[in-house]
A = this chain, B = another copy of it.
């Protein structure tokens, strides 16, 4: 099917099956919405019960239409939805919106219907939005193809929402706050078109149709806001968002962090959530800003739409009250921001226009008796200050405060200067007047200053991502040579096992160029002594069997065997411990002897395949530390050496790795290499389901994959 969505979003003609003259019905509302939105193409109502609807000729059947419409709106009950789609296919229609609910979200029966819907769309190559959705608005067309109310004001922001209800709330909120958008697409069940298709369309079709009047006061980017309950294809999603994020910020609200929510979500849309901590990491790696609350999401929408992201983390706060200024200062570091430092010249300038009791430091306290003029002057001085990346102006409604006049002055300054300005006028009815004026100037307002700081922090986070992308794109991924044929030989030899035994696993790691201590499977004590003499004492004895994953629990590992006398005792002990194993394992267990690499820092390197985002690397403290410090550091693969370094440096265990209390630093560089090789291994080996090296022992000179396991698909 053609995924060119241009005619879907910019149709020259639209047919509406189920169109009605009754605006209490979905088919009536959508017809009214299309006409009221100023749509300029041909409109064909389809409904056997009407000859005409208002001034439009109405058709009894799709096949009677005088042309093949670019877009079909299916506004009929679920019982006739599929036959309608079939007829559309026969007619040659390529784009459709389906509103009806009653598909997979209601259970098994609905799932079957949805499967049929998918088949029809594949057969005829129809791009379908929905079902169980609200349709879409494209204010650039203009076209409101939803059955919800929306003011239809044009703007630079683009929304994708899986939920129609959230869209309804957003429409109402946008209207109330004067926020215009370009497109608003609701996805519903995502049976055919999903978020990636729409993102691809956004990437291919930048917004360039706003008039200079519409553009006035807006930011210079086209932010994309996403409300998603599931992500269809994580790898593709990361590719697209990373690409878009280089130019336009993307922010998302994705519920389902907690078990309670995941449960609620499943009963709501039937969507099964992947692990939320993987999603969190994937979003971070793609520069997508995750909002934790709807409040953050709504606030950030306006902030990104109306102001450019700051070019640095240094903000200045101007306030007519000390308290909220202090509260803002409190919020800055959590948001990854700092308060800009003013130099002596600036302070002098501020001193000249402010009363003696005012604070000329940042936050600037212009005092409670400040009239609009004083606030304006202080703001202008700060706007002219190099090193200030964004400004937050806080106003409380005190006796002398000129709320409206102050808002207008700030508005005028915002047109004169490029620097992003944010406002928080704290109160109720009295400050609402000021907020309204500020919003007319497209200055984002926040009920409380902490919300403003949080939004500025998120904007700066995106700007940092954008800046980093320039560096990263010029940094080649290492070409690491691994003999994958040898790997395949080992895994295929074990293809009737569900997992590789320790000896096989370490062999795979060795082939991948990972440093593995010498080891051997032995049948007798004599073999062990020979190994130790040949390879140097001390040695380790371990039990090894396919599927034996927690051998320490059975006493299956004896370390630091330094001489013949000790190995005799150890051999006895490990032979005895064999009997503690589960019966089914006892028959094919063997003893592995290994060089003991001595003391070092123990870490774990592991990888699992996430159903949404593919292989995900885990790095963290090993041994007893793992339990204590919860040192889980993830990276969605692939990974470069630089990224491996960042991953290691962010880990808590790094406090020890870098050397502590006078000890020398540990061998970090070979660790990065190990991580990259380990990661390549799973990327190139689809037969491997998950694997782990535990522990990797890091000494002052080298790293050793001491023990590992590989689970096959």
- A-side residues, CB < 8 A to B, are 26, 29, 101-102, 105-106, 147-149, 162-166, 168-169, 171-177, 227, 229, 253, 255-261, 263-265, 267-269, 292-295, 298, 320-327, 329-334, 338-339, 356-357, 359, 361, 363, 365, 368, 396-399, 401, 426-432, 447-451, 624-625, 627-629, 652-653, 655-656, 660-661
Contacts and interface: CB of A to CB of B under 8 A. Distances in A.
A292 B449 CA distance: 12
Nearest to A327: B255
A168 B332 CA distance: 24
A378 B101 CA distance: 21
A347 to B, nearest CB: 12
Nearest to A102: B357
A339 B262 CA distance: 13
A149 B148 CA distance: 41
A129 B31 CA distance: 65
A629 B171 CA distance: 47
What is the predominant secondary structure among interface residues of chain A facing chain B?
helix
A326 B396 contact: no
A34 to B, nearest CB: 15
Nearest to A317: B264
A540 to B, nearest CB: 18
Given A267-B359, A397-B172, A428 B323 contact: no
Contacts of A450: 292-295
Q: What is the count of identical protomers in the complex?
A: 2
Contact of A162 (B323, B333, B356, B365): B323
A253 to B, nearest CB: 7
Contacts of A429: 172, 175-176
A431 to B, nearest CB: 6
A627 B323 contact: no
Contacts of A174: 428
Contact of A261 (B149, B164, B261, B326): B326
Contact of A327 (B294, B326, B363): B294
Contact of A627 (B298, B428, B431, B655): B655
6 contacts: A164-B368, A263-B361, A292-B450, A293-B450, A295-B447, A625-B628
B428 A177 contact: yes
A359 B258 contact: no
With a 10 A CB-CB cut-off, give which of A174, A430, A656, A661 has the most chain B CB atoms: A430
B427 A329 contact: no
A317 to B, nearest CB: 8
Given A260-B339, A627-B660, A322 B165 contact: yes
A260 B453 CA distance: 14
Nearest to A396: B165
Contacts of A368: 164-165
Given A269-B322, A628-B656, 9 more contacts: A148-B399, A166-B323, A176-B428, A229-B323, A265-B326, A265-B329, A293-B448, A295-B450, A628-B652
Contacts of A255: 323, 326-327, 329-330
Contacts of A229: 322-323, 326
Contact of A323 (B227, B320, B322, B624): B227
Contact of A168 (B322, B427, B661): B427
> Lowest 3 A-B CB distances belong to which pairs?
A176-B428, A165-B321, A172-B427
A256 to B, nearest CB: 6
Contacts of A258: 329-330, 332-334
A631 to B, nearest CB: 9
A268 B624 contact: no
A122 to B, nearest CB: 26
A326 B293 CA distance: 11
Contacts of A359: 264, 267-268
A320 B628 CA distance: 43
Nearest to A147: B399
Contacts of A294: 324, 327, 426, 448-450
With a 10 A CB-CB cut-off, give which of A29, A165, A332, A398 has the most chain B CB atoms: A165
Contacts of A172: 397, 427-431
A558 B332 CA distance: 46
A596 B654 CA distance: 31
A447 B446 CA distance: 13
Contacts of A298: 448
A431 B327 CA distance: 30
Contacts of A256: 326, 330
Contact of A322 (B29, B171, B253, B268): B268
Contact of A398 (B164, B173, B327, B428): B164
A168 B327 CA distance: 16
Contacts of A322: 163, 165, 229, 264-265, 268-269
Contacts of A264: 322, 325-326, 329, 339, 359, 361, 363
Contact of A321 (B163, B326, B357): B163
Given A255-B330, A330-B255, A359-B267, A324 B148 contact: no
A397 B329 CA distance: 37
A426 B293 CA distance: 12
A685 to B, nearest CB: 32
A394 to B, nearest CB: 9
A432 to B, nearest CB: 8
A588 B334 CA distance: 47
A169 B164 CA distance: 36
A674 to B, nearest CB: 22
Nearest to A428: B176
A491 B260 CA distance: 57
